[in-house]
Structure 1
Amino acid sequence: MSDTASQRILIVVNSGPSTPARCAAPFYTATLLACMDAQVTVFLSGEATQLAQAEVCDKLYAAADGEPVRHFIQQAKSAGIRLLMCRAPGVVINEQGLIPELDEIASGGELAQMILEYDKVLTL
C-alpha cells in the first residue's frame, strides 16, 4: 500500500481559458493520484468554472498539438476522481451546457469545509 492510499486529496483549480497551458495539469495530476489509490476531488473555482462548459473544454488546448482539455478531464474521471464546480453568487449557470463528467455544483462554503477536512490540498 502506498502512502497516498486512502488519502483524500483536494485539487483547487483556478486556471481557465486565459491560461490554457495550465488547464491540463490539474487533471493529469488528479489521474496519477487516483491511480495511486488516493481519493481525489477536483474543485473548479473562479475562471476554471468555464472548464465545466462543453463548448470551452472541447476547444481548449494546453499545447498546440495536444489533446483538448476535455480529454484530460475524461481520463481523470475514468481514474475515479470527483469533479465539482463552484457556484458563484448571483451567476446564472446554464446547466444544459455543462459536461456530464461534472459531479456537482457546490458552494464556496463547501470548498472551505473540504479544505479543513482533506489530508492534502493542492492549487494548480
Structure 2
Amino acid sequence: QVRTQQVARLERVRARRDGSKVAAALEALRAAAGTEPPAWTPGTPPPPASSEGGNLLALALDAARADATVGEISTALESAWGRYSPAVSLQSGIYLAEWSAVAQAAHAGGGADGHGGGAAAEGACANARAA
C-alpha cells in the first residue's frame, strides 16, 4: 500500500514538473561530476557554493528544486563516475598458524593432576608463532 502511494505521488510530480528544466539541471550535474574539482589550497577560503563553481551539492539542489527525483540525481552522478564495486578478495589460512599454536599448547605435556606443563605450553606457543 505504501509503495503504491509513493509511485502515484512520483507520477504526479513527474506530470507537473518542467521536463526541460529537470533535464538541464541533471545535465549540468552530470557535466560537473565528470570534470576535475576546482583547485583549492588548505588555509584559503573554499570555492564558492554556487552552481557556476562546479559545486556538486549546489547542482544537486538545483536539480531537486526542478523536481528531479533522488534516483535521477543519483543516476546522473553514476553516469559520470560509475557505480562503486568493492574488491572482493579471499584470504586462506590466516588463522591456521595461531590455531595450530593454541592446539600445540593445549596438548603440551601435563602433570599427574592434569595442571602441569604451563611453561611447556607457553614455549610451544612461542615456538609456533616464531615458525
Instruction: Flag whether TM exceeds 0.5 (same fold).
Output: no
Q: Which band: TM-score by shorter chain?
A: under 0.3
Instruction: Please report the TM-score for the alignment, with normalisation by the length of structure 2.
Output: 0.22
Q: TM-score scaled to structure 1, two decimals?
A: 0.23
Q: Which has the higher helix share?
A: 2
Point out the structure with max Rg over C-alpha. Answer: 2
